[in-house]
């Protein structure tokens, strides 16, 4: 099985179901939005919601995708920045428990967190404090990050090194992998993204990009066109992101995107997804589901698709596997599924 490396904003997702659609507005958070907040504002929101039940998991778009890949049985790794704090330790333990090899950089800032309010209609409202995550830079990609210090003293031993592809020399991290998956939220750091995709291509990796947010696409359209044309092989976008990138609705935008990449995927929510290459076009449906929270649906779709592609599955099957994971995760609170559900998924593949 080919190995897959992800890079993204390392955030701990704190999921809080609330009983009223008005609660986000009461906290000055526009319902359904993603708001960047500072540490003090994040703390005040958590204080205001201290009576509510909370769940937490290692999050961020790319981390969700990589976590899903590892649960499917893929060899996967992750690059990100965390603080030397309790949440940072939790983030790494969560990855390791799933089978992900962490390549973490450590910061004096607090680990980033995304407080996610889930209203009764299953819509999500995010208050995101990036914290240490925002420090990820091109300079961090060489030399390789150090292993995470173990809480209470001592060092966590580094994971066993994977063999280099072909036995040759290369980048100490990138050369271990065959795919490189990036979340679109990092695209605002042009220097980081450019260096990362250059390293990926120098080491022979297939580059996958999830656009992640239509407002990021709008603000970085020219840069995205440059990077996508030169370096990206597989592109994931939802309806709004593909519209921001091409100016077209999904049916036309998937054909436009396919002019720039080997595989274009446009996700259309409850209608499914569209996949286009130079030689093939697929329309993928959805599985029956009872959604309670759409957190992570796009990230898990990417996990399923990339797993199928890395395993050499036909394009239609890759899309169906993506839809299978997306349909399952929306029946769960948060971006993670329990082992019983993963076992059912694995039995059906």
Classify residue 158: in a domain, yes or no. Answer: no
Residue 294 pLDDT: 85
Query: If you average pLDDT over residues 22-28, what whole number do you get?
Result: 95
| 278 assigned to some structural domain | yes
Please give the average per-residue pLDDT across 155-169, as a whole number: 46
Classify strands 234-238 and 206-210 as parallel, antiparallel or unpaired.
parallel
Q: Assess whether pLDDT exceeds 60 at residue 59.
A: yes
Residue pair 220/248 in contact by the 8 Å Cβ criterion: no
pLDDT, position 143:
58
Helices (H), ranges, 73-106: 86-98
* Residue 292 and residue 18 in contact, taking contact as beta carbons nearer than 8 Å: no
pTM attached to this predicted model: 0.89
Could you identify the residue written with the tokens 């750091």?
189
Average pLDDT for 319-326: 98
Q: Once rounded to an integer, what is the mean pLDDT over residues 246-259?
A: 98
From the number of C-beta atoms within 10 Å of its C-beta (0-12, 13-18, 19+), residue 166 rates as exposed
Quick one: pLDDT at residue 303?
A: 98
Let me know if residue 165 belongs to a domain: no
Q: 89-128, pLDDT tens digit by residue? A: 999 999 999 999 999 999 999 999 999 999 998 888 999 9
The arithmetic mean of pLDDT across residues 251-257, rounded, is 98
pLDDT of residue 167 exceeding 50: no
Decide: residue 347, CB within 10 A, 0-12 exposed, 13-18 middle, 19+ buried.
exposed
Total domains in the fold of the chain: 1
pLDDT digits (tens, 9 = 90+) for 193-225: 999 999 999 999 999 999 988 889 999 999 999
Compute CA distances 190 → 74, 226, 233, 273, 277, whole Å.
29, 11, 18, 29, 27
Residue 167, domain member (yes or no):
no
Residue 319 has a pLDDT of 98
pLDDT value of residue 156 = 42
Question: Which residue's structure tokens are 């990021």?
Answer: 216
Q: In the prediction, which pLDDT does 242 show?
A: 98
* Tally: H helices and E strands in the chain: 12, 14
- Domain hosting 107: range is 4-141+175-348
74 within some domain: yes
Q: Determine, yes or no, domain membership for 168.
A: no
* Predicted local confidence at residue 328, as pLDDT: 98
Domain at 31, CATH number: 3.40.1190.20
Q: Answer whether 309's CB lies under 8 Å from 280's CB.
A: no
Would residue 150 count as lying in a domain?
no
CA distance 266 to 283: 10
Query: 165: pLDDT confidence band, cut at 50, 70 and 90?
Result: low
Lowest-pLDDT choice from 11-15, 148-152, 283-287 = 148-152
Non-local CB neighbours of 67 within 8 Å, separated by 6+ positions:
58, 94, 95, 98, 100, 303, 335, 336
Residue 210 placed within a domain: yes
């Amino acid at each position: 099985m080919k190995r897959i490396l992800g890079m993204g904003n390392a955030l701990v997702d704190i999921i809080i179901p609330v009983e009223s659609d008005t609660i986000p507005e009461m906290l000055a958070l526009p319902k359904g939005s993603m708001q960047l907040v500072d540490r003090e504002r994040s703390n005040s929101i958590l204080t205001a919601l201290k009576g509510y039940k909370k769940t937490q998991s290692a999050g961020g778009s790319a981390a969700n995708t990589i976590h899903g890949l590892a649960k499917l049985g893929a060899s996967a790794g992750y690059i990100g920045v965390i603080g030397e704090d309790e949440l940072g330790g939790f983030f790494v333990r969560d990855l390791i428990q799933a089978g992900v090899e962490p390549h973490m950089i450590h910061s004096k800032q607090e680990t980033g967190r995304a407080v996610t309010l889930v209203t009764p209609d299953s819509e999500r409202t995010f208050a995101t404090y990036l914290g240490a995550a925002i420090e990820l830079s091109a300079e961090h990609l060489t030399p390789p990050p150090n292993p995470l210090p173990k809480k209470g003293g001592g060092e966590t031993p580094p994971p066993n090194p994977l063999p280099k592809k072909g036995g040759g020399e290369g980048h100490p991290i990138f050369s271990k992998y065959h795919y490189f998956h990036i979340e679109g939220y990092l695209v605002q750091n042009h220097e980081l993204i450019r260096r990362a995709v250059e390293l990926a291509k120098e080491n022979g990796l297939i580059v996958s990009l999830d656009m992640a947010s239509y407002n990021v696409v709008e603000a970085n359209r020219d840069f995205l066109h440059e990077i996508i044309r030169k370096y990206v092989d597989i592109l994931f976008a939802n309806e709004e992101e593909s519209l921001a990138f091409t100016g077209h609705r999904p049916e036309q935008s998937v054909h436009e995107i396919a002019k720039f990449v080997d595989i274009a995927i446009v996700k259309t929510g409850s209608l499914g997804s569209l996949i286009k290459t130079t030689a093939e076009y697929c329309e993928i449906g959805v599985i029956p589901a009872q959604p309670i929270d759409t957190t992570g649906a796009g990230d898990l779709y990417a996990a399923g698709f990339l797993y199928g592609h890395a395993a050499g599955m036909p394009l239609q099957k890759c899309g169906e596997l993506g839809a299978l994971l997306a349909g399952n995760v929306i029946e769960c609170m948060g971006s993670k599924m329990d082992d019983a559900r993963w076992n059912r998924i694995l039995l059906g593949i």
